[in-house]
Amino acid sequence: MKIGFIGLGIMGKPMAKNLIKAGHELVVFDVIKQNIEAMTAEGAKAAASSKEVAEECRLIITMLPNGPHVKAVVMGENGILEGAAEGTVLVDMSSIAPLVSQEICKACAEKGVKMIDAPVSGGEPKAVDGTLAVMAGGDKAIFDEVYEVLMAMGASAVHCGEVGAGNTTKLANQVIVALNIAAVSEAFMLSTKAGVNPVKVFDAIKGGLAGSNVMNAKVPMIMEGNFKPGFKIDLHIKDLNNALETGHEVGAYLPLTSSVMEILQILHGDGHGQDDHSGIAMYYEKNANAQIRK
């Protein structure tokens, strides 16, 4: 299948590569020239704009940082809607506010373009190995139509409801991940300050009720002092901001999310915005004047 792919960053690039590995023909665009060149080296065709991608493809995937970027790519000058034919399907896999997804979907519908929101969880490692968790919102028939394409990038793809439901589900995911990393950091700082080897603590509790995929993925990074981004602190700030704003809009109160948001903002202010979100541990390390290390 010929697929347009717009947004070739940390997540988008490996996702696009997996589509090529699955046998799909890709037409790609990104604002960073080197990202396009990396994908043409993999066999993709370069486009000069989002409009040009839409002129060539009837299925388009976007993977962009936030709502304003998606709106610009879809609705802006030289955007998807300027080039898309009626019946084109847009799968926005960006993590954005649910109400923004609904706004974009409405604009698409006015042009005869079908849209679902399908954000992912798993970070760069799972984007690379093609085992992302995809959570989708929109017309179930459209979801079914693109299901096999989604599964070329993920280990699971679940239809969660109408447009915006995918991003609502992703916000719930991001709240849980952020709070989990903070809880892990707090607990492992406790054990470190108490003089217990964090490796032993990890081995002892990872198979119990406190164990989680987050712990398994992030504690080894923390113990190695490896905060190379798989998912950046600044991006998690964006997601939690969307969660808090959505919570205010719907009357859901998120006091724990607010607390972790403040930790992330402090880390951003300390120059760690481009580090991995496992760097939440650095907040605890700074305050306790100790490091969680092997």
Give the model's confidence band at 230: pLDDT under 50 very low, under 70 low, under 90 confident, else very high: confident
State residue 176's pLDDT score.
97
Average pLDDT, the chain: 97
The average pLDDT across 168-185 equals 97
pLDDT in tens, 233-247: 999 999 999 999 999
Cβ proximity of 280 and 181 under 8 Å: yes
3-class SS string, 162-176: CCCHHHHHHHHHHHH
Q: What is the amino acid identity at position 63?
A: M
What positions carry a catalytic annotation?
170
Could you tell me which of 242, 215, 197 has the C-alpha nearest to residue 101? 242
HSE value, Cβ hemisphere, 13 Å, CA-based, for 126:
16
State residue 93's pLDDT score.
98
Give the model's confidence band at 258: pLDDT under 50 very low, under 70 low, under 90 confident, else very high: very high
Residues 13, 276: Cα–Cα separation, whole Å: 18
Percent of the chain with pLDDT over 70: 100
The average pLDDT across 79-85 equals 98
pLDDT in tens, 143-161: 999 999 999 999 999 999 9
State residue 220's pLDDT score.
97
The average pLDDT across 38-54 equals 98
The average pLDDT across 258-278 equals 98
Q: Is the dihedral of CA 242, 66, 104, 127 positive or negative?
A: negative
49 pLDDT more than 90: yes
Could you tell me which of 236, 283, 294 has the C-alpha nearest to residue 261? 236
Cα distances (angstroms) measured from residue 95 to each of 65, 70, 169, 203, 277: 7, 10, 10, 33, 16
Q: What angle do CA 106, 111, 164 make, to 5 degrees?
A: 25
State residue 94's pLDDT score.
97
Cα distances (angstroms) measured from residue 183 to each of 15, 167, 180, 255, 281: 30, 24, 5, 15, 9
Give the model's confidence band at 69: pLDDT under 50 very low, under 70 low, under 90 confident, else very high: very high
The average pLDDT across 201-220 equals 97
State the residue for tokens 């002092």. Answer: 225
Cβ proximity of 29 and 45 under 8 Å: no
Percent of the chain with pLDDT over 90: 98
Direct distance between the N- and C-terminal alpha carbons of the chain, in angstroms, rounded to an integer? 48
Give the model's confidence band at 123: pLDDT under 50 very low, under 70 low, under 90 confident, else very high: confident
